[in-house]
């Protein structure tokens, strides 16, 4: 499955780069007006009108490949292997640790039990009901 996912990502990147190149190669609708004044832009490799048709179709094919790859990646990103538990609202809430516990990693360090006991939690200042504590003084 991982190989297929990597293949789709690589195909999507290649399709995007080719599509960018094809769009940059194409000329706009106003480019033919300069050819009528003698700039010679109409004499191209594909002929006077052949390049627009070929490049347009190639861009459409690259866009279709890009969109199919995007839909495939979205399908692979949806994890269907786990059972559905219903709505997000039905799942239990994740409870954060209490604020009275020290936020240091001293409990994970061997021999640091005395420093964990010595850690003092400083409570945050209580906000006033009027909200005056949130206004900075000048």
What pLDDT, in 10s, does the model give residues 117-137? 445 555 555 555 665 556 666
Please tell me the pTM assigned to this model: 0.47
Q: How far apart are CA 104 and CA 119, in angstroms?
A: 8
The predicted-structure confidence for 85-112, as pLDDT tens digits, reads as follows 667 777 777 787 776 655 555 555 555 5
């Amino acid at each position: 499955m991982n190989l297929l996912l990597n293949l789709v990502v690589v195909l999507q990147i290649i399709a995007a780069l080719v599509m960018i190149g094809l769009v940059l190669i194409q000329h706009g609708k106003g480019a033919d007006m300069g050819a009528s004044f003698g700039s010679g832009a109409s004499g191209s490799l594909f002929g006077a009108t052949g390049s627009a048709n070929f490049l347009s179709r190639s861009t459409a094919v690259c866009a279709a490949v890009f969109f199919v790859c995007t839909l495939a990646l979205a399908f692979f990103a949806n994890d269907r292997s786990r059972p559905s538990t219903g709505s997000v609202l039905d799942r239990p809430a994740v409870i954060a640790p209490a604020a009275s516990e020290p936020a240091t990693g001293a409990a994970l360090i061997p021999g640091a039990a005395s420093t964990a006991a010595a850690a003092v939690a400083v409570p945050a200042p209580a906000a006033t009901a009027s909200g005056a504590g949130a206004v900075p003084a000048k």
